[in-house]
């Protein structure tokens, strides 16, 4: 049996930001396995080259810092020249800082805002300038269950992810008329380098398992199907939505 043609994205070109490891690398692998030409992004060229070597198909790397406007502009221009027109952008690069809000410093506030929110604006705008001219494109912003809910010690992270949800809707409003669909994907608790201290905290880890209807931590592979769907023609009339892939956590008290 073959897959339905609505889900066929083979031959498309996809850029995944922050794909040297973790969720971004898993999403890039999924897109490569679906037949896309994939561009990996991060700040460490050596790490990116190693990751690229582990993926199947036509894989490229683009080293730039997603928080720096001029680097983003040059990076996207370079990708389109070397690899070809971008059909799919996944804004995945992100970071987390956990601290009581009263102890949160100005510089940490700006750092997390730049990495999780401004980056999606900068990379999204550069990609969409080209996609809107061509009349098609798919953008997926990696939000979080913390786009909806928050716990103590994580307010700035939740603020960036809540704002990213609204940026997704705003991008949908501005770029939808030009054939570009923009959606969010909201992971629940996923075992990666970013959450390693939480996974290793047995009490917290058990709380995650108890609070998640699926009864376990998420794996990076759990997120692949959602991104493939949002990047495919099956989602041509889906825009401005956030698909939560969280084992049900955001739905229950
Ligand atoms: P990781 O810390 O494992 O990976 C983060 C990636 O982002 C790395 O590849 C890193 O590459 C890259 N990156 C960070 N800053 C920059 C920058 N300024 N420019 C370019 N690349 C950058 O995180 P995860 O895989 O866990 O998370 C990925 C996304 O998913 C994030 O947006 C996160 O908020 C979100 N998320 C994660 C959840 C989880 O439970 N893990 C839950 C919900 C959302 P390098 O350092 O080499 O530059």
pLDDT tens per residue, range 23-57 = 999 999 999 999 999 999 999 999 999 999 999 99
**Which pLDDT band, with edges at 50, 70 and 90, does 196 fall under?**
very high
**Ligand 1 in contact with 18 (CB < 6 A)?**
yes
**Ligand 1 in contact with 162 (CB < 6 A)?**
no
| Start-to-end CA span in the chain (Å) | 41
Q: Which fold has domain 5-193+220-239?
A: Rossmann fold (3.40.50)
**Ligand 1 in contact with 147 (CB < 6 A)?**
no
**Ligand 1 in contact with 54 (CB < 6 A)?**
no
pLDDT of residue 125: 98
2 against 192, higher pLDDT: 192
pLDDT in tens, 56-100: 999 999 999 999 999 999 999 999 999 999 999 999 999 999 999
**Which pLDDT band, with edges at 50, 70 and 90, does 1 fall under?**
confident
Report how far ligand 1's centroid is from the alpha carbon of 3 (Å).
31
For residue 3, pLDDT over 80 is answered with yes
**Ligand 1 in contact with 21 (CB < 6 A)?**
yes
pLDDT in tens, 150-193: 999 999 999 999 999 999 999 999 999 999 999 999 999 999 99
pLDDT of residue 149: 96
Q: For residue 162, what are the contacts with CB-CB under 8 A and spacing of at least 6?
A: 146, 147, 148
Report how far ligand 1's centroid is from the alpha carbon of 174 (Å).
26
Q: Ligand 1: which atom is nearest the Cα of residue 20?
A: 9
Alpha carbon nearest to ligand 1 atom 19, residue: 65
Instruction: Pick the catalytic residue from 157, 178, 189, 244.
Output: 157
pLDDT of residue 26: 98
ipTM for this prediction: 0.99
Q: Ligand 1: which atom is nearest the Cα of residue 115?
A: 18
φ/ψ of 163, rounded to 5, equals -65, -35
pLDDT of residue 106: 98
Q: Ligand 1: which atom is nearest the Cα of residue 194?
A: 2
Dihedral sign of CA atoms 170, 176, 177, 179 in order: positive
Report how far ligand 1's centroid is from the alpha carbon of 69 (Å).
18
For residue 239, pLDDT over 90 is answered with yes
Q: What is the biggest distance separating any 2 CA atoms in the chain, rounded to whole angstroms? A: 57
pLDDT of residue 2: 83
Q: Ligand 1: which atom is nearest the Cα of residue 67?
A: 18
pLDDT of residue 105: 98
Mark whether 157 is an active-site residue.
yes
**Residue from 47, 92, 94 whose mutation best tests the ligand 1 pocket (most atoms within 8 A of CB):** 94
pLDDT of residue 199: 96
Cα separation, 152 vs 161, in Å, equals 15
**Ligand 1 in contact with 78 (CB < 6 A)?**
no
Question: Mean pLDDT over residues 193-219, rounded?
Answer: 97
Cα separation, 26 vs 9, in Å, equals 17
- Triad 238, 122, 223: Cα angle to 5°: 45
pLDDT in tens, 109-152: 999 999 999 999 999 999 999 999 999 999 999 999 999 999 99
**Ligand 1 in contact with 165 (CB < 6 A)?**
no
pLDDT of residue 253: 85
């Amino acid at each position: 049996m073959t897959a339905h043609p609505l889900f066929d994205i083979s031959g498309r070109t996809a850029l995944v930001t922050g794909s040297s490891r973790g969720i971004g690398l898993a999403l890039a692998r999924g897109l490569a396995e679906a037949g896309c030409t994939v561009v990996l992004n991060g700040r460490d060229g050596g790490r990116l080259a190693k990751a690229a070597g582990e993926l199947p198909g036509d894989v490229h790397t683009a080293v730039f810092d997603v928080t720096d406007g001029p680097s983003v502009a040059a990076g996207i221009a370079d990708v389109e020249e070397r690899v070809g027109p971008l059909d799919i952008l996944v804004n995945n690069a992100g970071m987390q800082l956990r601290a009581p809000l009263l102890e949160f410093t100005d510089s940490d506030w700006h750092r997390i805002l730049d990495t999780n929110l401004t980056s999606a604006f900068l990379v999204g705008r550069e990609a969409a300038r080209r996609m809107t001219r061509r009349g098609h494109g798919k953008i997926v912003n990696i939000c979080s269950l913390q786009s909806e809910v928050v716990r103590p010690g994580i307010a700035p992270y939740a603020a960036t992810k809540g704002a990213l949800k609204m940026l997704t809707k705003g991008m949908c409003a501005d770029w939808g008329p030009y054939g570009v669909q923009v959606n969010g994907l909201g992971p629940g608790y996923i075992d990666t380098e970013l959450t390693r201290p939480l996974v290793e905290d047995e009490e917290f880890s058990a709380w995650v398992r108890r609070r998640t209807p699926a009864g376990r931590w998420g794996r990076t592979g759990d997120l692949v199907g959602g991104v493939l769907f949002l990047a495919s023609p099956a989602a041509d009339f889906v825009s401005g939505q956030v698909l939560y892939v969280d084992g049900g956590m955001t739905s229950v008290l």
